[in-house]
Amino acid sequence: MGLEYVRITTGFEDYMPKDYVDLVKYGQFGKEYDIQELGTFKELVEEHPMCAGCFMAYFIRIFYASLPKPEDTIVIGTAGCARLQLSQAAVPFIYGNYGDTNAVASGLKRALEIRFPDKVKDVVVVAGDGGLMDIGFGMTMHSWFRREKFTTIMVDNEVYGNTGGQESGMSPKGVQLKMAPKGKKFDKINAVELAKAAGCVYVARIAPTNPKRLAKTIKRAILAARHFGPTFIHAYTSCNIEYSIPTDKVLEDARNREKKDFSFYEWMSDDVKAYFEEIESNKEGKEVKV
């Protein structure tokens, strides 16, 4: 159905907001663009209230531009910076409560499978380090244990940014933050290894320095979740405010972290690997073709 609900009712073309008309005419619905075409098509999210220089805002822009089937995607978020931008995209978005994303997504995905067993309906959680690894930890882990078929993307800014810069479980050891006035006492949680141990079929860690690789990773995570089971992306999306990164040094910072603890890492189960080999082998310029 997807495209049907997006389509403008005949006769209303002249009266719909220009933004919406552009979205339908020149946007991503029913089409798949290469991320390198960014700037040549109408994007799903163009305005946001994020801070100047926010790397998470950039990540979310690439995320929406990479969706394999935006007209049949539902995004779920929770408290934090990400939801400020996620809620303004032209893709249905659900905000529940604190850290409940993976429980809401479990119920939603199962409901959609009951109602539309023969249709593709992608459910994607995009939430922060606090939401997924602190307050929502149990629900995150259990959705993976249960092999729920949706994608979880952790936009890790290593801090509670939206509440004013408190320590999170994903903050690096030693960093001085609010609620950690003497510095964080323990290591960053190893989310990638937890995801693997908990049963995710596709796991990636990425610093978004290379849009092409990032788009490919996001597409793979969503396609693998569609067919096989839970998938997880751990993305470094720095907070330039709380970590005092000058706006023009945000990309440089990401490249530095990439050389240290955020080197690109991708792991997938054998059947997922075989699936990608099959669908990506007959490529014609594009990295991922469905």
> Site for other proteins (CB under 8 A): which residue of 14, 52, 114, 284?
114
Bridge pairing between strands 202-206 and 122-128: unpaired
* Closest-CA residue to 278 (of 202, 210, 223): 223
Residue 168 beta carbon to other proteins: minimum distance, rounded to whole angstroms: 19
> Site for other proteins (CB under 8 A): which residue of 121, 216, 219, 226?
121
Residue 141 beta carbon to other proteins: minimum distance, rounded to whole angstroms: 8
Task: Select from 139-147, 183-191, 207-215, 268-276 the region that touches other proteins (CB under 8 A).
Answer: 139-147
Q: Is 246 in the site for other proteins (CB under 8 A)?
A: no
DSSP designation for 131: I
Site residues (CB under 8 A) for other proteins, limited to 39-98: 49, 71-74, 76, 83-84, 87-88, 92-98
Residue 10 beta carbon to other proteins: minimum distance, rounded to whole angstroms: 16
Q: Residue 95 pairs with which residues in a beta bridge? A: 77
> Site for other proteins (CB under 8 A): which residue of 16, 24, 46, 110?
110
Q: Are 100 and 108 in contact (CB under 8 A)?
A: no
Q: How many residues bind other proteins (CB under 8 A)?
A: 42
Residue with tokens 């429980």: 103
If the CB atoms of residues 110 and 286 are measured against other proteins, the closer one turns out to be 110
The Cα 287–Cα 279 span in angstroms is 10
If the CB atoms of residues 138 and 246 are measured against other proteins, the closer one turns out to be 138
* Closest-CA residue to 92 (of 117, 51, 126): 126
Q: Are 106 and 148 in contact (CB under 8 A)?
A: yes
Q: Residue 93 pairs with which residues in a beta bridge? A: 75
The strands making up 231-236's β-sheet, listed across from edge to edge, are: 93-95, 73-77, 122-128, 151-156, 231-236, 202-206, 265-268
Q: Is 211 in the site for other proteins (CB under 8 A)?
A: no
Residue 96 beta carbon to other proteins: minimum distance, rounded to whole angstroms: 6
> Site for other proteins (CB under 8 A): which residue of 27, 54, 109, 127?
109
Residue 252 beta carbon to other proteins: minimum distance, rounded to whole angstroms: 30
> Site for other proteins (CB under 8 A): which residue of 26, 30, 36, 116?
116
The Cα 127–Cα 154 span in angstroms is 5
If the CB atoms of residues 76 and 288 are measured against other proteins, the closer one turns out to be 76
* Closest-CA residue to 220 (of 135, 171, 286): 286
Give the length of the chain: 290
Q: Residue 192 pairs with which residues in a beta bridge? A: none
Q: Are 71 and 6 in contact (CB under 8 A)?
A: yes
Residue 197 beta carbon to other proteins: minimum distance, rounded to whole angstroms: 16
Residue 104 beta carbon to other proteins: minimum distance, rounded to whole angstroms: 4
- Return residues touching other proteins (CB under 8 A): 1-2, 4-5, 49, 71-74, 76, 83-84, 87-88, 92-98, 100, 103-116, 121, 138-139, 141-142, 146
